[in-house]
Every structure is written in C-alpha cells, then in structure tokens.
Amino acid sequence: MVQISIEYTGQLHCSATHGPSGTVLPTDAPTDNQGKGESFSPTDLVATALGTCIATTMGIVAEQHGVELKGMTVQVTKEMVNDPRRIGRLTTEVHIPLPPDHPRRELLERTGLGCPVHRSLPPEMERPTEFFWEG
C-alpha cells in the first residue's frame, strides 16, 4: 500500500507528496480549464502514468530475459473530450532500440499492453499503442 498526500495550495494548484519517498509533485489546472498550465494537470498525470507503466513493465521483463532496453522512449498524446469532460484518447508510441526481428518482440509488446495502468483504464477511453523497433 502506498499513500499519496495532497494539499490544495490555492489558485488551482495542488502539491502531492509520495509517502514512501517524500518526493513532491506539483499540479496545476490546464489552460483550457481555467488554469495556468504551470505544471502537470491531473489528467496529464494519467497519461504520464500510462507511458511510464508501459516502459517500467517492459523493463522488468526485459531484465528478466537479459535484454537491454536503455534508450527506449515513450510518447503519450492526451486528447480530452467534453460532455462529460474526461480523457477520451491516449495515443502511445513506444520506440525500442532493438531490431524488428528481436526474439523477445512479442513478449515485450504483450507486456507493455498488459501493464497495470493500461488494464486499469476504462474501456471507453481509447488507447491505441504502436511499437517502433528501431535497432
């Protein structure tokens, strides 16, 4: 169990503290929803969680199989929809510094698509994910 403590600091800003490490993460409302966009918005953190979860779970499996993924990059594009306002789509590109014919390709892609955040998102949220093998 992990506790995150959040303080509303005013002017649509929050300060979230990660219990185990004490790391502090500021948030702000986005510019298209009355904020100044001075930091990650709450919905930006959902996109961030998806991208980092894909990379982390792929990294765990890669290490178990002696595969080096250092240099892998993930880009997540968040698109909002209205009525009600929510995340409608998270488009993800995963760039992997390994050749397309790598023997662990299928395992690693399946792992990325099965990460806990991906599985936790509601089915109505579109989340197309594309893998680019660039080694």
Domains and CATH numbers, the chain: 4-33 (no CATH), 43-133 (3.30.300.20)
pTM of the model as a whole: 0.95
What are φ and ψ of residue 67, in 5° steps? -105, 135
pLDDT one-digit tens code per residue, 15-38: 999 999 999 999 999 999 999 999
Output the CA torsion sign for 103, 108, 113, 119.
Answer: positive
Q: Please, which pLDDT band fits residue 126 given cuts at 50, 70 and 90?
A: very high
Angle at 37 between CA 72 and CA 25, to 5 degrees: 60
According to DSSP, the β-strands at 73-81 and 24-28 are unpaired
